[in-house]
Amino acid sequence: MTVYVHDDMAIMPLVGGNAISDEEFSLIQSLVKKQVGIALSEHKRSLVASRLGKRLRALGLPSLRMYYDYLTGPDGTAELENFVNAMTTNKTDFYRERVHFDFLERELVPALKTRAVQTGERKIRIWSAGCSTGEEPYTIALTLCEALGRMPAWDVRILASDVDTSVLSQAAAGIYPLERVREIPPALRERYFLRGTGSKAGLVKVKREMQSLITFRRINLLEEPWPVRTVFDCIFCRNVIIYFDRPTQCRLMSRFAKYVKDDGYLFLGHSESLHGVCDQFTFLRNTIYRRLPAHNAARPAAEGRM
């Protein structure tokens, strides 16, 4: 529980019984920015206190300064994963921002079917970057299964990545409380999910047919190079860049542009925009952007491998 103490200057959250000093908060801000690109504003002090307080108690450390010294010392490598997991925010739902999935079904898939008739290519590659607990990539998979009809005729792969290993393990398991899938129409729940019984009552599990389309992988969007060796028909990176400062956003979008096919698509969150960030995409509608043709652009070295 976060506790607060009042003095003449501010109300400061307590961690381990001691107020977070300006120096400690600044150190944590810098480390979070370095590790995952998140820019923590001043009003996130209470969030830092709440989330890192648990790590301090687990390690028996009395202050954030000692925790920071441990993280950046020779024995702190393993704890950095817990630190990153604690500092990332994970909010997602099935069919969140439904307009994007309507676009997949009504515009992208028909265009890919037309391409298949013309060229014989029946391959689809989509990246869910910042997939959290998996609702987004599973919604993508469900939408594609329904829109494509005869899935065996198509080579479909979805890369689902996140920097937080704890949510990735949940996503890979594909198990959700029944209330989490309420937004999915009943007929589709029956088609693509198994309902738990006995000790698993109240839970559902994604069926293997849909789960097999997705590769879950830890990817830190700040690290170079990314372990990705293909280009995508579209990338979902929704409600991620709002946590980054403008220079980080610019670098990230320029990198994404290299991984999207010409005339492919980038989907952002409803409060995000590429205005003044990147000129390699053009705005379409509803936070949907189309990749502009890239002349002599550097592409991943071995297209086809995720």
pLDDT tens-place string over residues 195-246: 999 999 999 999 999 999 999 999 999 999 999 999 999 999 999 998 999 9
- Closest Cα to residue 171, out of 116, 121, 210, 144? 210
pLDDT over 80 (residue 158): yes
Identical fold between 3-87 and 99-291: no
Region 106-124: mean pLDDT is 94
297 — pLDDT class (breaks 50, 70, 90): low
Whole-number pLDDT of residue 6: 29
Instruction: Specify the higher pLDDT residue, 303 or 101.
Output: 101
Q: CATH number of 3-87: 1.10.10.10, 1.10.155.10, 3.40.50.2300, 3.40.50.1820? A: 1.10.155.10
Q: Is 102 a residue of the active site?
A: no
CATH architecture of residue range(s) 99-291: 3-Layer(aba) Sandwich (3.40)
Distance CA 47, CA 53 (A): 10
| pLDDT > 70? residue 7 | no
- pLDDT tens-digit series, residues 244-263: 999 999 999 999 999 999 98
Catalytic residue from among 96, 125, 162, 291: 162
**pLDDT > 90 fraction of the chain, expressed in percent and rounded:** 75
- Token duo for residue 140: 């993508």
Q: Determine the average pLDDT of the residues in 265-272.
A: 95
Reply yes or no on whether 162 is catalytic: yes
Task: Name the residue with tokens 């307590």.
Answer: 14
pLDDT value, residue 295: 57
pTM score > 0.75 for this model? yes
Catalytic residue among 45, 51, 55, 96: 51
- What's the pLDDT tens digit per position in 44-59? 888 888 889 989 999 9
Please tell me the predicted confidence (pLDDT) of residue 228: 95
Q: How is the chain split into domains, by residue range? A: 3-87, 99-291
Q: Which residue stretches of 22-159 are H helix?
A: 22-36, 45-59, 64-71, 77-87, 99-103, 109-119, 135-148
Span 181-199, average pLDDT: 94
